[in-house]
C-alpha cells in the first residue's frame, strides 16, 4: 500500500485515543447523499445511548457546499431514517443514515429515498426482495488502478476473476477490512470476490426487503470509502474506469416478489420481462451516469439500445439463472444498472414498472 509504514503509524497513534472513556456520551455520524451521488458525513455528540431513530434529533448542513441548495437559502435538513453500529469508533457509537429535506418541508431534489420508500410501502404486499452486486475499482492517489504499471497495463483479463495470489489480485486488505466493517455494522453483506479486471472487486448485499435494500447499500458504500481512506486508496464507482478491452463495473440487481418465489413463479418472471422491455428507456435514464460506455454488447453486457433477456445469458439486459428456469420459480437479475447508480432509483423504478406507481 502507499507509504504503508506512515499509514500504520497513524493508525497506531489513533488507537489509544479511540480507547478513551467517552463519559457516557455517544458519537453519531450523520450520513447523507449529495448532489452527485457521493456520501457526506459529520459527527454529533449525543448525551446518551440511543436505540432507535425516533430518539435522534434532526440536524442541518450547508447545502450550497454540496450542490444541494443555493447560497442564499443554503440550510438543508437531515432527517435520520436508519442507524447502524459504528465499526470505526465502536462501543455504543452509531452511524446514522439520513434523508435530506428543504426548509419548506419538501424533500430535497436529490432525496431519491423519499419516493422509493413510498413505492415500497404502497406495494409492500408483493414482498419485493432485492440483492445488489456492487462492483468497484480501487485506484492509487494518481487515479490509476492500484497495482497496475505506472502509465501501463497488466496482462490481459483472464487470471484475475476470483483470483488468488500476487499479481492476480490487489488490495485484498482493503476488501477484507470492508467485509468485516459491514458485518459489524449489521449490513447483510452476503459475499465478496475479485472481478474480471485487476483492481476491480465486487461485494453483494442482500437479500433485503423494500427500502432496506437502498439503505444498506448506501451505508456499505460509506464504509468502503471510509476504509479505503485509511489505506490511502481511492474508490471508483465509474461504470467504465478504463477504456479498451477491460470489463466495466455494474450494480447487478437481483429481484423477486413473493409470487415469483412460489410454484409457477417463472410465468410471473416472464410477464415481468414484457413490462421491463416496455420501459427500457426510462430505466436506462436512472441506471447510472456514463452507462453508455459500459453497455456496449461486449464484456458481459447487453446493448444500451435494446432490451433482451435469456436463461443464463450474461450478454442480455436481464439474466434468468439456469436454476430458476429448472425450478420454475425464483428471481431475475437486471444487469443494466451501472456501478454508480442510485439504489433507491433502481429499486424504485423496478417496483413502479412491475406494479405501477403509488395509488
pTM of the model: 0.95
Q: What is 26-110's CATH number, 1.10.150.80, 3.10.20.70, 3.90.1150.10, 3.40.50.300?
A: 3.10.20.70
CA distance 316 to 280: 13
Length of the chain: 359
Determine contact, residues 307/276, Cβ cutoff 8 Å. yes
pLDDT at position 1 is 47
Q: Domain segments of the chain: what residues? A: 26-110, 121-355
Q: What is the pLDDT along the chain (359 residues), one digit of tens a residue?
A: 445 445 545 667 888 899 999 999 999 999 999 999 999 999 999 999 999 999 999 999 999 999 999 999 999 999 999 999 999 999 999 999 999 999 999 999 999 999 999 999 999 999 999 999 999 999 999 999 999 999 899 999 999 999 999 999 999 999 999 999 999 999 999 999 999 999 999 999 999 999 999 999 999 999 999 999 999 999 999 999 999 899 999 999 999 999 999 999 999 999 999 999 999 999 999 999 999 999 998 988 989 999 999 998 888 999 999 999 999 999 999 999 999 999 999 999 999 999 987 76
| Strands of 13-140, DSSP E | 26-33, 39-46, 59-62, 75-85, 94-101, 129-139
- Position 6 scores a pLDDT of 53
**Three cell numbers at 111?**
432525496
Question: For residue 339, what pLDDT is reported?
Answer: 98
**pLDDT, position 101:** 98
- CATH (one of 1.20.1260.10, 3.30.590.10, 3.90.78.10, 3.50.50.60) for 121-355: 3.30.590.10
Using CA of residue 40, residue 147, residue 181, residue 86, what is the dihedral sign? negative
Q: Which positions ≥6 away from 352 have C-beta within 8 Å? A: 119
CA distances for 93 relative to 43, 48, 164, 183, angstroms: 10, 10, 36, 16
Q: Answer yes or no: are the C-beta atoms of 288 and 251 closer than 8 Å.
A: yes
Specify the residue for cell string 417496483. 351
Question: CA distances (Å), 296 to each of 225, 260, 299, 301, 316, in order?
Answer: 28, 30, 8, 7, 11
Q: What is the pLDDT of residue 193?
A: 97
Structure confidence at residue 356 (pLDDT) = 86
Amino acid at each position: 500500500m502507499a507509504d504503508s509504514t506512515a499509514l500504520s503509524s497513524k493508525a497506531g497513534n489513533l488507537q489509544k485515543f479511540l480507547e478513551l472513556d467517552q463519559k457516557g456520551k455517544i458519537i453519531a455520524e450523520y450520513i447523507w447523499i449529495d448532489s452527485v451521488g457521493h456520501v457526506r458525513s459529520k459527527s454529533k455528540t449525543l448525551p446518551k445511548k440511543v436505540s432507535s431513530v425516533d430518539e435522534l434529533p434532526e440536524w442541518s448542513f450547508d447545502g450550497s457546499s454540496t450542490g444541494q441548495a443555493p447560497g442564499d437559502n443554503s440550510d438543508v435538513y437531515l432527517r435520520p431514517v436508519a442507524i447502524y453500529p459504528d465499526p470505526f469508533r465502536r462501543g455504543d457509537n452509531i452511524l446514522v443514515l439520513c434523508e435530506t429535506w428543504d426548509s419548506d418541508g419538501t424533500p430535497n431534489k436529490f432525496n431519491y429515498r423519499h419516493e422509493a420508500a413510498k413505492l415500497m410501502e404502497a406495494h409492500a404486499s408483493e414482498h419485493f426482495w432485492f440483492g445488489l452486486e456492487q462492483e468497484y475499482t480501487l485506484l492509487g492517489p494518481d487515479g490509476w488502478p492500484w497495482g497496475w504499471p505506472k502509465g501501463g497495463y497488466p496482462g490481459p483479463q483472464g487470471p484475475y476473476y476470483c483470483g488468488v495470489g500476487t499479481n492476480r489480485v490487489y488490495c485484498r486488505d482493503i476488501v477484507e477490512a470492508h467485509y468485516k466493517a459491514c458485518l459489524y455494522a449489521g449490513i447483510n453483506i452476503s459475499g465478496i470476490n475479485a472481478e474480471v479486471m485487476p483492481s476491480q472487486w465486487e461485494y453483494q448485499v442482500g437479500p433485503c426487503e423494500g427500502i432496506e435494500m437502498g439503505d444498506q447499500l448506501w451505508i456499505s458504500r460509506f464504509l468502503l470509502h471510509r476504509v479505503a481512506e485509511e489505506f490511502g486508496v481511492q474508490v471508483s464507482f465509474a461504470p467504465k474506469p478504463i477504456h479498451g478491452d477491460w470489463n466495466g463495473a455494474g450494480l447487478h440487481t437481483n429481484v423477486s416478489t413473493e409470487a415469483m418465489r412460489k410454484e409457477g413463479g417463472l410465468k410471473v418472471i416472464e410477464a415481468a420481462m414484457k413490462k421491463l422491455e416496455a420501459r427500457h428507456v426510462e430505466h436506462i435514464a436512472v441506471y447510472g451516469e456514463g452507462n453508455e460506455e459500459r453497455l456496449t454488447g461486449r464484456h458481459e453486457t447487453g446493448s444500451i439500445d435494446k432490451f433482451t433477456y435469456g436463461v443464463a445469458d450474461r450478454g442480455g439486459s436481464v439474466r434468468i439463472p439456469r436454476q430458476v428456469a429448472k425450478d420454475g420459480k425464483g428471481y431475475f437479475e437486471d444487469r443494466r444498472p451501472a456501478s454508480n447508480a442510485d439504489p433507491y432509483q433502481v429499486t424504485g423504478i423496478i417496483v413502479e414498472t412491475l406494479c405501477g406507481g403509488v395509488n
